[in-house]
Chains A and B, each alone.
Chain A
Amino acid sequence: MSAQQSDQHQYLTFMLGKEAFALGILSIKEILEYAAPTEIPMMPAFIRGVVNLRGAAVPVVDLSARFNRPAQVVTKQTCIVIVEVAANESRHIIGVVVDAVNEVLEIPAAEIEPTPSFGASIRADFIEGMGKVRGKFVIILNASRVLSTDDLEALTLAAHESSAAA
C-alpha cells in the first residue's frame, strides 16, 4: 500500500456529546483550542461566527446545530477543527467546533461498515461509513457533504429571510 493510500485511512476521531465521530485526516488542516468566535449578525445558529487564523477570518460551524441537535456547551476540552473542503473549483477553510478531540488513528477499509439504513440520528448523506475502533463504532463523516458550501449558503440565505420577516 502506498503512503498516500495509508494516509487515506487515517482519521481524526472526536466527540460530539457522547457520540464519537471521525473525519479523514486529509481534510483536516489543524486543530485549535477553542476561542470564542467573533459573532456575525444575522447568521443561522449553526454558524458561531469567525475566528482569526493567522490573519484570515475563518467561519466556525457548530456541528451539533448542523445536525439539528441542541447547541454545544463550551468546555475546556472544546476545540475547533480547521477543515478544508473542496467545492466546485475552490477550496474553503471552515472551522468546526467539537466537544473533544480524541486521536488520530488508522481505520483500515476492512473495518469500515456501510452506513446503516436506519437508526442513525443524522442525515445519511453526511455519513461516509461506520468505522470499527476497538470494538466500538465511530461515525465517519463526509466533510464535503457536512460542510457543503451550497448548503451553507442556502441556509444562510434562509436565515436572513426568516430574520427579515420577523
Chain B
Amino acid sequence: MILRFSKTHDASETVATTPSPYAPALPILAKQVDTARAQMEEAIVALSERFAQIVQRIDSTLTASQSSKQDGDLAAILSTGKADLVAVIGALKEIHEARNTLADEIRGLAEHTEDLKRMAADVEMIAFQTNMLSLNAAIEAAHAGDAGKGFAVVAHEVRSLSRASRETGKRIAETVNSITHTLTSIARTNESVAVRETQAVRDSESRIHEVLDRFTNISGQLANSAEELRADSALIQGEIGQSLVHLQFQDRVGQILGHVSSTLQELPPLMERTATEACAAQFLETMARTYTTSEQHRNHQAAADVSPAPSQAVTFF
C-alpha cells in the first residue's frame, strides 16, 4: 500500500505567526502518526522475532527428522529386521522338526532292534532245540531199526525245518547287525547335529536379541523424535498464529495514516482562510467521525496511548 502524502505547508510556521483555530488538530494528527509508527515498529519487531523462532523450530524439526534418517530408511530397517526374525524363526523350526523326526526315527529303529534281537534269539533257540529234537529222534530211530524208519523220516523233516529256521535266525542276526551299524552312525550324526543345533540356537538367540535391541533403540528414538516433532509442530503452529495477528498491523496503520493523510491535505487551504473556533471545532468533529479505529478515538481524546489488544471474542447476532 502506498501512502500518499501531498506536499504540505509546514504547519508549525503557520502556528508561530497566527495561532490558527486548527492548531489543536495538529498534535492530534501528530499523535496519530506516531501511534501508527509505533504500531508498525512494534509489529515488525514482534514479527521478526516470531519468524526467527519459526525458522529455528523448523530447522531443529528437520534436523530431528534427518537424524532418524541417518540410521537408515525406517521401512528398510523394519523389513530387514522382520525378514531376519522370520528367517531365524524358520531355521529354528526346521532344525527343531528335523531333530524331532530324527529322534523319532532313532527311537523307532531302536525298538525294532530290540524286537529283532529278541526274535533272533528266539529263533536261534528254537532252531537249536529243534535240531536237538531231530537228532535225538534220529538216534531213537536208529536204535529202533525198521520200526523207526517212519520216525526217521519225521526226524529228517524236523531237521530241515530246524536248518531253515537256523538260516532265518542267521539272516535276522545279520539284519540286526546292519541296523545296529546304521543306528550307531545315526547316533553319531545326531550328536553332531545336536552340537550344530545348539550353536544355531545360540546364534539365533543372539540375533533375535540384536534385532530386538535395534527395534527398541529405534522405537525409542522414534518416540522421542515423534514427541519432539509433535511439540515443535504445536509450537510452530502457535508462532504462525501469533504472526497472523501481527501481520494485520499494516491494515490498521494504513487506515490511520490514510486518515492522517487526507486530513493533512484538507488542512492547509482551511488554515489559509480565516477560521473561527467554531469552524475548527466542526473540523475536529468531522475528523473524529472518520476514525475507524479505537486508538484514533483515544488519541483524539488525549487518552493514554494503548496498543489495541486483539479481540478475544466474537459478537454473534
Could you tell me which A residues sit within 8 Å of B by CB distance? 3-4, 7, 10, 12, 25-26, 28-33, 76-77, 79, 101, 103-104
Let me know if A30 and B139 touch, CB within 8 A. yes
A104 vs B138: C-alpha distance when bound (angstroms): 7
In the assembled complex, the CB of A52 is this many whole angstroms from the nearest CB of chain B, namely 18
Is the Cβ of A76 less than 8 Å from the Cβ of B135? no
B225 within 8 A of A: no
A25–B148 alpha-carbon span in the complex (Å): 14
Tell me if B142 and A79 are in contact (CB < 8 A).
no
Cα A129 to Cα B17 in complex, Å, equals: 181
How near does chain A come to B252, taking the closest CB pair, in angstroms?
A: 123
- CA of A3 to CA of B152, assembled, Å: 12
A76 to B159, CA, bound (A): 18
With both chains docked as a complex, state the minimum distance between the C-beta of B118 and any C-beta of chain A, in angstroms: 15
Complex contact B145–A3 (CB within 8 A): yes
Give the nearest-CB partner of A77 in chain B: B128
Contacts A10-B138, A12-B139, A25-B142 supplied; 14 other A-B pairs, CB < 8 Å: A3-B146, A10-B142, A12-B135, A28-B139, A29-B139, A31-B139, A32-B132, A76-B124, A101-B131, A101-B135, A103-B131, A103-B159, A104-B135, A104-B155
Chain B nearest Cβ from A139, distance in angstroms: 19
Q: By the criterion CB–CB under 8 Å, are B128 and A31 in contact?
A: no
Residues of B within 8 A of A103 (CB): 131, 135, 159
Given the complex, which residues of B lie within 8 Å of A31, measured CB to CB?
132, 135-136, 139
- B155 nearest in chain A by CB position: A104
- A5–B266 Cα distance when bound, in Å, is 175
Give CA–CA (A31, B155) in the complex, Å.
14
Q: Say if the beta carbon of B143 comes within 8 Å of chain A.
A: yes
Residues in chain B near residue A104, CB distance under 8 A: 134-135, 138-139, 142, 155, 159
A contacts with B: majority SS: strand
Q: CB distance B142 to A7 under 8 Å?
A: yes
> Do A33 and B132 form a contact, CB below 8 Å, given A7-B142, A10-B142?
yes
Most chain A CB neighbours (cut-off 10 Å) among B124, B136, B146, B149? B136
24 cross-chain CB contacts under 8 A: A3-B145, A3-B146, A7-B142, A7-B145, A10-B142, A12-B135, A12-B138, A25-B142, A26-B142, A29-B139, A31-B132, A32-B132, A33-B128, A33-B129, A33-B132, A76-B124, A76-B125, A76-B128, A101-B131, A101-B132, A101-B135, A104-B134, A104-B138, A104-B142
Q: Chain A residues with Cβ under 8 A from B134's Cβ?
A: 104
Residues of B within 8 A of A3 (CB): 145-146, 149
| B138 & A30 in contact (Cβ 8 Å cutoff) | no
Q: For A25, what are the chain B residues with a Cβ–Cβ distance below 8 Å?
A: 138-139, 142
The answer for the CA separation of A3 and B150 in the assembled complex, in Å, is 13
Q: State A3–B149 Cα separation when bound (angstroms).
A: 9
Shortest CB–CB separation between residue A67 and chain B, in angstroms? Answer: 22
Chain B residues near A7 (CB-CB < 8 A):
142, 145
Query: Which residue of chain A lies nearest to B131 when distances are taken between CB atoms in the complex?
Result: A101
Kindly list chain A residues whose C-beta atoms are within 8 Å of the C-beta of B145.
3-4, 7
Would you give the shortest CB distance from B87 to chain A, in whole angstroms? Answer: 58
Interchain nearest-CB distance for A87 vs B (Å) = 20
Distance, CA A12 to CA B124, complexed state (A): 21
Of A12, A33, A104, chain B has the most CB atoms within 10 Å of the CB of: A104
**A77 CA to B124 CA in the complex, in Å?**
10
> Which residues does chain A contribute within 8 Å of B142, judged by CB atoms?
7, 10, 25-26, 104
Counting chain B CB atoms within 10 Å of each CB, which of A12, A25, A32 scores highest?
Answer: A25
Counting chain B CB atoms within 10 Å of each CB, which of A4, A7, A101 scores highest? Answer: A7
A-contacting residues, B32-73, CB 8 Å: none
